[in-house]
């Protein structure tokens, strides 16, 4: 069987996927397997407890992952509603990540440079999805629903355990946004299932 030259669409998919993988690899160079190492900065104000530091690094890496996944979704989504949702995630997560980085530095911690290795693998899996409806559905399920359900559970548990008032306030604010993101993803997924 003789194959002709690749179509413009196939070439674009290969370039997008290769670009997303290269970007993910660059973003994740030096990432840890389960969580980024905790870097405590000298001369900082009151410190988090060990458990609060562990949560903070997990939450910060998750925020970096969510922003990266949302950027990928904004660039690859075919449905304009999914693209708008991904763009909103980018905006919200970049803002939350910036606010959290300020809090981390105030508490003597450096934010992680990128997502964990597992999260980078998830980005690669997302980048490998076919374009069109398959990507839109996969993006909504993986990023919009699965990641937000897991994140909400993590934040609710931390909310019960955290003592630091600044971290607690950030958790409360972030939980509100996470619940809104989840509800939007569930609504969009139901629309695309029809």
Q: Which residues of the chain have pLDDT under 50?
A: 1-44
Q: Say how many CA atoms lie within 13 Å of 3 toward its Cβ.
A: 3
Residue with tokens 């993590």: 154
Q: Which pLDDT score, from 0 to 100, does residue 89 have?
A: 97
12 part of a folded domain: no
Q: Is residue 95 part of a domain?
A: yes
pLDDT digits (tens, 9 = 90+) for 109-122: 999 988 899 999 99
Is the residue at 17 inside a domain?
no
Write down the pLDDT at residue 47: 87
Residue 176 confidence (pLDDT): 96
What is the number of domains present in the chain?
A: 1
The residue length of the chain stands at 194
167: CATH:
1.20.1260.10
Is residue 9 included in any domain, yes or no?
no
120-155 residue pLDDT tens: 999 999 999 888 999 999 999 999 999 999 999 999
Q: Is there a domain that residue 149 lies in?
A: yes
Whether residue 179 lies inside any domain: the answer is yes
Within-domain flag for 175? yes
Q: Is residue 142 part of a domain?
A: yes
Per-residue pLDDT, 60:
96
Domain extent at residue 121: 43-192
What integer pLDDT is reported at residue 45 of this predicted model?
53
So what's the pLDDT on residue 106? 94
d(CA 102, CA 91): 17
């Amino acid at each position: 069987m003789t194959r002709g030259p690749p179509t413009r669409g196939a070439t674009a998919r290969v370039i997008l996927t290769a670009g997303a993988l290269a970007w993910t690899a660059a973003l994740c160079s030096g990432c840890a397997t389960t969580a980024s190492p905790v870097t405590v900065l000298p001369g900082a104000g009151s410190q988090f407890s060990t458990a609060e530091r562990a949560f903070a690094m997990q939450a910060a890496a998750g925020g970096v992952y969510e922003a990266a996944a949302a950027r990928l979704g904004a660039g690859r989504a075919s449905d304009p509603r999914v693209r708008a949702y991904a763009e909103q995630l980018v905006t919200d997560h970049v803002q939350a990540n910036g606010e959290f980085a300020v809090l981390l530095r105030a508490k003597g911690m450096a934010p992680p440079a990128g997502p964990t290795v597992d999260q980078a693998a998830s980005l690669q899996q997302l980048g490998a999805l076919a374009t069109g409806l398959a990507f839109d559905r996969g993006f909504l399920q993986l990023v919009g629903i699965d990641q937000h359900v897991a994140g909400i559970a993590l934040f609710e548990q931390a909310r019960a355990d955290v003592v630091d008032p600044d971290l607690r306030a950030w958790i409360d604010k972030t939980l509100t946004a996470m619940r809104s993101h989840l509800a939007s993803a569930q609504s969009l997924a139901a629309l695309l299932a029809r």
